[in-house]
Amino acid sequence: MRVLFMATPVPSHFTPMVPLAWALRTAGHEVLVVGQPDITEAALAAGLPAVGIGDRYDAVEALTARLTEGRRPNQAGRAQITDASPFTLVMPWIMHARYLMQSYVEFAAEWRPDLVVSDPMEFSALLVGGVLGVPVVHHRWDIDPLGEQPFGMARQLLGARFSRHGLHGELPDPALVLDSCPPSVRGTEANRSRTPVKSLRYVPYNGSGTLPEWAVKQARGHRVVVTLGGLTAALNGIPLFRSVVDGLESVDGAETVVTLPAGYHAALGPVGARTSVVEPAPLHQFLDSCAAVVHHGGTGTSLTACAFGLPQLVLPQIGNEALWAARLQECGLARTLTDPAAQDDPAAIGDAVRELLGSPSYAAAARKVADEMAALPAPADLVDDLTELAVSHASRGDR
């Protein structure tokens, strides 16, 4: 079976699919990743073959273009999504799909996949599946509260392009949806879909890299890692890092590890004896040495911390990170500070982390979610299902 993987051009939208791609390859299937350089570079780093389509997207450039000098996006009051807002979440990817749909269809027509796996916001994948008559499997990378709304918007705004490919203005439904968010965090509304949804265990993969030396050393007390994603520092976020460091240094018995690219270390300024500022490394390599995580609410970070059973302090910055923060807090495993002013208050940071470390309820709730995740089917367990899906689709003459 030939499986084509596609994703919107943000590496964190693609990396949750890597374990499934590995599972398919291990089972003997041919896997190929197609996308813009943002995706193909992540695929090659994961040991997966890839083909580039189009130019680099560069999410940092897209976000900084309208950024007020010296202010983070959330300080402008328009960067966070606190409800199910399909326009804000979906429209950028609908507009983006216009430019590459034709190229994706032309390439796929040459390669002839038996199955397409994509993130739900890469609408070109549904076009590829519809034109070639092959099933498309959506692999969610996020909490999905929107149900069918994104597809309705895509059908309305991209319908003329579908018609030119013989789909008569109609966008096919995916044949299956895979969801790796634990049900207790996801909530029931995420499965408001006419497409079958299967739960899939989240296998932490946060990129490739060398195991850092500090990670194998004995922690000096409660090790708390600060990881605010790949964008926050570049989006005027160094004052936030400073506030977090100052807040954590007030917590007795805490050893703070701040992951921050080397180019920003000098801007952060001096830190105390119990604080280390280190180069970013894949989270799955070192979270087993930590007692808690301070992060931005990105999907990969949130789910990886959940998989390791860790209490979390979430400081959402952009997109729907505030939704993750709210869900994790509702599950009892996290504290959240959504207001930018509170995020910049070292006292508020210190108080939140003291509560996370001092109250056993957070660790117990985090462990419960980790156990729930571990009980879900692994990617390898779904390979036969995906194979059967492709075979049955072909046998019906859909191709």
Query: pLDDT tens across 128-160, in order?
Result: 999 999 999 999 987 866 667 777 788 777 777
Count the neighbouring beta carbons within 10 Å of the beta carbon of residue 2.
15
Question: What is the H or E stretch that residue 124 is in?
Answer: helix 123-132
Alpha-carbon gap, residue 115 to 397, rounded angstroms: 14
User: pLDDT by residue (tens digit) across 16-35?
Assistant: 999 999 999 999 999 999 99
- The alpha carbon dihedral of 74, 75, 77, 83 has a sign of positive
Give yes or no for residue 399 having a pLDDT over 60. no
2-202+377-395 is a CATH 3.40.50.2000 domain: yes
Give yes or no for residue 346 having a pLDDT over 60. yes
User: pLDDT by residue (tens digit) across 50-77?
Assistant: 999 999 987 777 677 667 778 888 887 6
Helices (runs of H) and strands (runs of E) counted in the chain: 16, 13
Give yes or no for residue 272 having a pLDDT over 60. yes
pLDDT average, residue stretch 290-318: 96
Between helices 18-26 and 383-395, what is the axis angle to 10°?
A: 80
> What does the pLDDT read at residue 146?
65
> What does the pLDDT read at residue 60?
73
Give yes or no for residue 345 having a pLDDT over 60. yes
Which candidate, 20, 62, 59, 60, places its Cα nearest to that of 43?
20
Compute and round to an integer the Cα radius of gyration of the chain.
21
The token pair that represents 265 in the structure block = 């270390």
> What does the pLDDT read at residue 155?
78
Which residues belong to CATH 3.40.50.2000 in the chain?
Answer: 2-202+377-395, 213-374
Alpha-carbon gap, residue 130 to 137, rounded angstroms: 12
Give yes or no for residue 117 having a pLDDT over 90. yes
> What does the pLDDT read at residue 195?
83
Question: What region, left, alpha or beta, does residue 244 occupy, with left being phi > 0 and alpha being psi -120 to 50 degrees?
Answer: alpha
> What does the pLDDT read at residue 156?
77
CATH superfamily ID and name for 213-374: Glycogen Phosphorylase B; (3.40.50.2000)
Strand extents, DSSP E, 21-160: 30-35, 50-52, 115-118, 136-139
